[in-house]
Structure 1
Amino acid sequence: MIHVIQSMNHTFEAFEPSPENGGHTDMITIFNRKELAITYSTNEQARIRDILTAEGIDYIIDTKGTVMRNMGARGPAIQQFGENITASTEYRIYVLKKDYDKASHLIHT
């Protein structure tokens, strides 16, 4: 199950607890998390999510859309010259500080 929390400019996705913890997870907060990766690639964030899920590492993803924030008067269907529409969403992936070293090793090998 995916838990999604949305605010005006951000979407946070938190995924179900890992079975290794007996279905229990530490809540990931700004106090106990560490940023694992930042990407604009949906493929890269999916690759990282798959690795973390397979290893039972809890994570959250903070997504921030840049197109809507900078839309102004030009409207949603008009692309600004040079704007890369595929890079319109920033994905920040966080894990618990205690899981950071393992997670970092896994996504970089």
Structure 2
Amino acid sequence: MITIFNRAELFLTYDLSRFNQVRDTLEGAGLDYIYRSKDLTSPTMWEGLCGGSSRGRTGTFGMNDGAWVEYKLYVRRKDLDWARAILRGI
């Protein structure tokens, strides 16, 4: 089981297709992983308390169309070097 105490960040991207490619590669190699996605246009807790999100106030002007969601992949800290070696091949 991968927990916050034994995990290491392996990969960060804003591209869903690249995220899926890396995820499929890890699955094919038999590596356990977890991932987190974060919608960068959604309100934070503080913004929610103050009423609305930054997108609601300012819109999406100036934001890259492909960079609205952040994807992070984590593996066990002890498997990090192995996972990096696997990803060098793709």
Q: Which runs of 4+ in 1 moved over 4 A?
A: none
Q: Are residue 80 (structure 1) and residue 43 (structure 2) matched?
A: no
Greater fraction of residues in helix: 2
Show the counterpart of 2:5. 31
- Alpha-carbon distance in 2 for matches of 1:80, 1:66: 11
Show the counterpart of 2:55. 71
The Cα RMSD (Å) is 1.4
SS of equivalent to 2:66: helix
Q: Are residue 100 (structure 1) and residue 80 (structure 2) matched?
A: yes
Equivalent residue for 1:47, pick from 17, 21, 34: 21
SS of equivalent to 1:67: coil
- Alpha-carbon distance in 2 for matches of 1:44, 1:105: 17
Code of the residue aligned with 1:104 in structure 2: it is: R
Equivalent residue for 2:69, pick from 60, 85, 89: 89
Higher relative contact order (CA 8 A, sep 6+): 2
Code of the residue aligned with 1:83 in structure 2: it is: M
TM-score for both structures, normalised by structure 2: 0.79
- Alpha-carbon distance in 2 for matches of 1:55, 1:39: 20
How much does 1:97 deviate? 1.1
Q: Where do 5+ consecutive residues of structure 2 fail to align? A: 44-53
**1:52-63 equivalent positions in 2, closer than 5 A:** 52-63=26-37
